[in-house]
């Protein structure tokens, strides 16, 4: 069930990251939601319920930098605690998708016509 958890939740590091975040998602809008109703920070917390009908939120410890979310799992797992943040799955996935899209956009040639 936890394949997408970059750091297994049995590690002390995961617990340390979650403790530093007070168990709360540290997303400040990189997922595309401003979270402005919640003081600019996502309100999701470990063990909380994101919405009716979903299970308890299981927080992820993952790179704090959106670009870092594109790192392969073994590289992300080697990062020190200060470079990690607590993410709820929704913000983690959305932020990662946005970082990926931004990277693809940057890799595309600005002027495809120049090939001809």
Provide the binding-site residues for Zn ion, judged by CB under 5 A. 25, 27, 31, 33, 42, 44, 88, 91
Please identify, using beta-carbon distances, which residue of 27 and 79 lies nearer to Zn ion: 27
CB of 31 to Zn ion, least distance (A): 3
CB of 93 to Zn ion, least distance (A): 10
> Distances from the Cα of 42 to the Cαs of 26, 29, 31, 46, 110, in angstroms?
7, 8, 10, 12, 34
Please identify, using beta-carbon distances, which residue of 39 and 109 lies nearer to Zn ion: 39
Please identify, using beta-carbon distances, which residue of 42 and 99 lies nearer to Zn ion: 42
CB of 109 to Zn ion, least distance (A): 31
- Helix/strand/coil percentages in the chain, nearest 5: 40, 10, 50
Rounded CA separation 6/68 (Å): 11
Rounded CA separation 23/101 (Å): 28
């Amino acid at each position: 069930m936890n394949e997408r958890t970059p750091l297994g939740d049995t590690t002390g590091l995961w617990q340390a990251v979650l403790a530093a975040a007070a168990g709360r998602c540290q997303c400040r809008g990189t997922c595309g939601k401003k979270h402005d109703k919640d003081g600019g920070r996502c309100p999701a917390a470990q063990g909380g319920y994101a919405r009716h009908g979903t299970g308890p939120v299981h927080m992820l410890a993952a790179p704090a930098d959106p670009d870092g979310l594109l790192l392969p799992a073994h590289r992300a797992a080697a990062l020190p605690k200060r470079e990690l943040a607590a993410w709820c799955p929704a913000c983690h996935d959305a932020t990662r998708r946005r970082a990926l899209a931004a990277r693809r956009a940057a890799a595309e040639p600005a002027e495809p016509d120049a090939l001809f």
